[in-house]
Amino acid sequence: MTFESLGLSPALLRALTEQNYATPTPIQAEAIPLALAGHDLLGGAQTGTGKTAAFGLPLLNRLSKQTAANGFRRPRALILVPTRELAVQVTESLRGYGKHLRLNISAIFGGAGMGPQVEMFRRGVDVLVATPGRLIDHMERGTAKLDSIEILVLDEADRMLDMGFLPAMKRILAKLPRDRQTMLFSATFESQLKQLALEFMREPRQVQVAAQNTIAETIVHRAHPVDVARKRDLLVDIISRRHTDRVIVFGRTKHGCNRLAEQLEDSGLAAVAIHGNKSQAQRQKALRDFKTGKARVLVATDVAARGLDIPDLPLVINYDLPMVAEDYVHRIGRTGRNGASGEAVSFVAPEEGGLLRQIQRMLKADVELAVVEGFEPSRPIQLNAPLPKPGGRQNQGPRKSHRPHGKPAPRHAHAHAGPKQHRSGGHSGRGSRSGIGA
């Protein structure tokens, strides 16, 4: 599957190549052809799945086909988002995809001065990314005119409802032309949201990424409690102890993956990293080295690994737990294929207990927590620990993905909140290793 085969314009394809997007993510592969054909879409997808391009590429494709009727440009596409951060992120992504198109893409959100936003409307805008409250302010002032909107996107719609934006969304929807294309993306579809979709959409097609149950039964799931600071030593310990040819290790950030690959090299383990900052040529070389056995360890971010033709592997290691449980499914889809046995090993720092709980809920099973001798964590893993904050740092460097809802973790204890944390046998205590450097 390639972006070319999805029917996007050459200017968009060029921008994608420049950004090293080699293959569409599953939601992109499903959504783009439907959206290009003009259908309304209900997309079940979270951040990190590539949903911005899933709606952004067809949207830009459509707008670029026809230029605005006159020099005074009113917005033709409106993207409603719950937060200022998402507004900025979506705007940046769309500007990247649309860099070879002559479209103005701008954002308005609360907490920023009105003046520059009013000026932006005066100069003309084609694609408007907005938080609902601020858009209402501009509608009331008469600066935002929505009568030319051809495409509406509701991004993270469940979160907008959670944040109390339903009345504002309805007011905005009432001002939009009826003859338009509507795309709604949400991680969950509760009844209020379904109702909204029924009212404001025309026979929407549904697209959903990763059915929940695509995990092979032949996979053994194991978790090792370990402090963040000791994860790398544990990784070296496990990989050196096992005689596996190839291991894929998932990290959360591009920077973290790079550094980890370098540190593994320093420890004598041939490793390569793939992530979004690497060029297509670099990624292909890394993958080739991994496939031919030149590199034993492939360190990857979730998005970089997606769509890559990685061979079946006996062992997948989650160095950092994924922020979104669904990514766990994608990650371990690399092992245990076609009835082969596979193992998914996760390193769980005490502060990552909440993330492990998410995964257990999705798997509908406990994951055995086995302490490796010499790597005992400084405190027990609390499965009812709050989830890491969307903007906060967990391990290394900044990261992009965040919890889909931004809701605090439920406070009640999960049924498996008191896991047995026993020692896994057979490992001679290796104590702490030094010399790998932090």
CA distances from 184 to 45, 58, 200, 269, 327 (A): 10, 14, 10, 45, 21
Compare residues 3 and 319 and give the one whose CB is closer to ligand AMP.
3
> How would you list the strands of the sheet with 342-348, edge to edge?
271-274, 297-300, 247-250, 315-318, 342-348, 219-225, 368-372, 421-424
Judged by beta carbon, residue 1 or residue 415, the one nearer ligand AMP is 1
Mark the segment that binds ligand AMP (CB under 6 A) among 22-30, 203-211, 229-237, 414-422: 22-30
Is 185 one of the binding residues for ligand AMP (CB under 6 A)?
no
Positions in 71-110 near ligand AMP (CB under 6 A): none
- C-beta of 86 vs 193, nearer to ligand AMP: 86
Please report whether residue 48 would count as binding ligand AMP according to CB under 6 A.
yes
Work out how close the CB of 354 gets to ligand AMP at its nearest, in angstroms, rounded to a whole number. Answer: 21
Residue number, 189 or 374, with CB nearest to ligand AMP? 189
150: left (phi over 0), alpha (psi -120 to 50) or beta: alpha
Residue 303 in the binding site for ligand AMP (CB under 6 A):
yes
Q: Which of 50, 322, 333, 377 binds ligand AMP (CB under 6 A)?
A: 50
CA distance 288 to 283: 8
Question: Distance between CA atoms of 154 and 294, rounded to whole angstroms?
Answer: 46
User: CA 221 to CA 352: how far, in whole Å?
Assistant: 16
Which range binds ligand AMP by CB under 6 A, 20-28, 109-117, 230-238, 355-363?
20-28
- Given candidates 205, 296, 400, 416, which one binds ligand AMP under the rule CB under 6 A? 400
Least separation in angstroms between CB 28 and ligand AMP:
6
Beta carbons of 152 and 80 less than 8 angstroms apart: yes
Beta carbons of 129 and 107 less than 8 angstroms apart: yes
CB of 141 vs ligand AMP, minimal distance in Å:
31
Contact mark string toward ligand AMP, 248..277, x via CB under 6 A? ----------------------------x-
Question: In angstroms, how far apart are the furthest CA atoms of the chain?
Answer: 75
Query: CB 23 → ligand AMP: shortest distance, Å?
Result: 6
The DSSP H or E segment spanning 300 is strand 297-300
Crossing angle for the helix pair 191-200 and 166-174, nearest 10 degrees?
10
- 181 contacts ligand AMP (rule: CB under 6 A): no
Q: Whole-angstrom Cα distance, residue 14 to residue 193? A: 36
Interface positions with ligand AMP (CB under 6 A): 21, 23-25, 28, 47-53, 276, 303, 400
